[in-house]
Chains A and B, each alone.
Chain A
C-alpha cells in the first residue's frame, strides 16, 4: 500500500471539512477522487501535506506515518503535488520552473530528467527560454506536471488538472496521465470535477460529498453507476 488514509478528520476554523475519510492508493494505480465544488477534495489533498493538519485519523505513506510531519518534509517523501490552478512561477522561464521542481533531487539526474520532460511534453522544449507566464493555460498545466515530475516522485497528486482548459488540452492532459501510468509505472491520485474523463483514466475511484466518501469502486463501475451518472455526468441531482 502506497498511501493510506484512515478515519481522517480536518477542520477549517469551525468548518468540519473532512469527516472520517478512508482512502487508499496502491503502487501502480491511478485513483481518482471526484465530487462537486466544496465537497472537500482539495482539502483532502492539502491535508496530506499538513495544511490543514488533520484533527483525527492517520495518514501513512510507504508504511511511514506522515500525519504530523512538517509540510516541506512531507514533500521530500517522494510525493509531488501539482497544485490547483497550476501555480507555475510566471516571471521565471520554463527552464527555471523545471529546475525549481528539482531542488530536492540529485543534481546528477538533471540533464536526464530534463530530456524525459521534453520527450513527454515537446512544447516545453520549444518554449524553454520563454517566461512561463506567457504560456497558454494548457501549456502551463503541462509545465506544472513536468515540474512536479522533476522531483522523481513515487506518487503524483494532481489537483483538478483539467480546470479551465480547452477541450483539446484536457484530452492531452488525460492522455499524459495514462501514459505516465502505463509506460512509466507512476502511481497517481487524481482529483477532478470532470468525472467522465477522470473515471475513464482511473483504475479505481472515490466519490466525495460533504466531506465524506459516499461511493467507491472501479472506474468502470462508477462510470456505469446510475447515481454517479445523474450527479456528475448529466448535470443536476436527479434521483435516478
Chain B
C-alpha cells in the first residue's frame, strides 16, 4: 500500500490516544460541576459533597467510548473509500441492479400496506399510526417534487397543508360541501396559493428562498390565529364532517342507512378508522403514480435539470421560471389534498397543527429519505413517525432519541436512506428507446 494512502487512512495508536484524551479532558471539565460535586441536606444546612470515584468512572467511560467510536468511524470510512474506488466502470450496471431491487421493495411495501388493516382490524392504535404515516408519506411526496426534483428548498410546506385543511373545513361547515367534492377544489386552492407565493419568490435561490417560504408558513399560521371571524382563531374549527362511504355515514344509528346497516354488519368504530386508512392509501398511491408519470415526461426532466444547473437550462432555451412554478404549484396542491384528509380525519383543526415543526419534519422526511426518491420518503416517514411513538416509554428523552436517530442516518447514509436515482428512461436490450 502506498505510504500516502496509509497515512490518510489509519491513525496511529498515539493519535487515537490523544484524540480520546481530548474527549476525556472535556468530560473532566464538564463532569466536575455536574457529577463531581453534589449537594446534600445535612442537619438543615446545605453541604457540598464530592463524588470523585463516580467522576473517575465517567471519565474512563468517555475515554473508552471515544476510542471505540473513533475506531468504528474509521473502519466505516475505509470501507466506503474502498467501495468508491471500485465504483465507476460498473456504475451503470450497479444502477440497474439497484433499481430492480428497489422496485421489489416498493411492491413489498405496497402489499404490506394493503393487508395491514386486515391483520390489525381490531387494533385501533396500529391502524391510526399507520394512517399518520401515510399522511406524512403524502406530504413527503408532495414536497419531494419541490425539494427533491426541482431543488427548491421549501421550509413552509405546512402552509399548503393548512390551506387545504382550512379550505375543506370552511367549505364543509359553512357551505355544506362533501369530502369528495371538496377534495379537488381544496387541492386547487392550495395550488393557487403555491403559485401566488412562487410567482414573486422563485427568482430567489437556495437559502433566500428557504427564508421566504419559512416566512410564508408563519404568515398563514398567524393569519389563521388572528382572523377569528374567518378561521375561528386559536379555537380552530370543530365538527368538520367525516367522509362517508359513497354517501353511507359511519355512525352507530341513523334514520338513513349507515355503512353498518347497509352491509348488514354490526356497528364498530373501527369501520371508519379502516376506511380512512384506505382513503389515504389510495390518495397517496395516486400521488405516487402522478409524480412517477410526470418524472418521465419532459416537464419532470426539466425540474431535475433546473435542480442540476439553472444556467445550463437557460442556455438550452428552457423557461426556468415556468418549470419552477409548476413544481411549486404541484407540491402545494398535493400538500393541500393531504390537508383535506387531515381535517376530515381529525374532525377538528386549529392553527396549532400547522407550526413550523411540521414543515421541519416533512422536510426531514424528504432529506432523510434521499432527495427525489419516492421509496425513500416512505421509509423515512415510517422511521420519523414510529420513532416518537416507540419512544413514548422514554418520556422526556423521546426527542433526544429522535435527534440521535436523525444524526445517525446522516452519518451512515449522507445522501439519505435511498440516494439511488432511477433514470427516467432506459434503453431496451435491442437498442431502441423505451419510456
Contact = CB atoms under 8 A, between A and B. Distances in A.
A171 interface: no
Contacts of A232: none
B174 to A, nearest CB: 44
B315 A87 contact: yes
A95 B426 CA distance: 8
B317 A76 contact: yes
Contacts of B423: 92-93, 95-96, 129
Nearest to B309: A87
A19 interface: no
B427 A147 contact: no
- Decide if the interface of chain B is mainly helix, strand, loop or mixed: helix
Contact of B311 (A87, A114, A127, A134): A87
Contacts of B305: 89, 92, 100
A80 B318 CA distance: 12
Interface string B216-246: 0000000000000000000000000000000
A83 B317 contact: no
Interface string B180-193: 00000000000000
B273 to A, nearest CB: 41
Nearest to B322: A72
* Residue of B308, B316, B319, B426 contacting most chain A CB atoms (<10 Å): B316
Nearest to A132: B308
Interface in B378-435: 421, 423-427, 433
Nearest to A101: B316
Contacts of B95: 129, 131
A101 B316 CA distance: 6
Interface string A13-33: 000000000000000000000
Contacts of A93: 423
B317 A104 contact: yes
A145 interface: no
A51 B425 CA distance: 33
A95 B425 contact: yes
A115 to B, nearest CB: 11
Given A89-B312, A91-B308, A99-B301, A111 B317 contact: no
B158 to A, nearest CB: 28
A103 B316 contact: yes
Contacts of B317: 72-73, 75-76, 103-104, 151
Contacts of A83: 311-312, 315
Contact of B91 (A101, A111, A130): A130
Contacts of B313: 100
B35 interface: no
B312 A87 contact: yes
Contacts of A80: 315-316
A128 B95 CA distance: 13
Interface string A62-81: 00000000011101100011
A72 B298 contact: no
Nearest to B321: A72
A96 B305 CA distance: 9
Contacts, number: 91
A7 interface: no
B92 A127 contact: yes
A90 interface: yes
Contacts of A71: 314
Contacts of B316: 75, 80, 100-101, 103-104, 147-148, 151
B267 to A, nearest CB: 53
B152 to A, nearest CB: 16
A175 B311 CA distance: 27
Contacts of B433: 110-111, 114
B51 interface: no
B154 interface: no
Interface string B270-313: 00000000000000000000000000001001101100110111
Interface string B38-50: 0000000000000
Contacts of B312: 83, 87-89
Given A90-B308, A91-B304, A130-B91, A72 B318 contact: yes
Contacts of A206: none
A61 interface: no
B421 A72 contact: no
B96 interface: yes
Contacts of A111: 433
A97 B9 CA distance: 36
B88 interface: yes
A104 B302 CA distance: 12
A160 to B, nearest CB: 14
A134 B314 contact: no
B418 to A, nearest CB: 14
B315 to A, nearest CB: 4
A73 B309 CA distance: 18
Contacts of B304: 89, 91-92, 96
A119 B183 CA distance: 52
Nearest to B425: A95
Contact of B427 (A73, A91, A128): A128
B67 interface: no
20 contacts: A72-B317, A72-B319, A73-B317, A75-B317, A80-B316, A87-B311, A87-B312, A87-B315, A92-B305, A92-B423, A95-B423, A95-B427, A96-B304, A100-B316, A104-B316, A104-B318, A128-B427, A130-B91, A131-B421, A148-B315
Interface of A: 49, 51, 71-73, 75-76, 80-81, 83, 87-93, 95-96, 99-101, 103-104, 110-111, 114, 127-131, 134, 147-148, 151
Interface of B: 88, 91-92, 95-96, 298, 301-302, 304-305, 308-309, 311-320, 421, 423-427, 433
Given A87-B311, A99-B425, A131-B421, 12 more contacts: A95-B425, A99-B301, A100-B302, A100-B318, A110-B433, A127-B92, A129-B95, A129-B423, A130-B91, A134-B91, A147-B316, A151-B316
Which 4 residue pairs of A and B lie closest in terms of their CB atoms, listed nearest first?
Answer: A75-B317, A89-B308, A87-B312, A81-B315
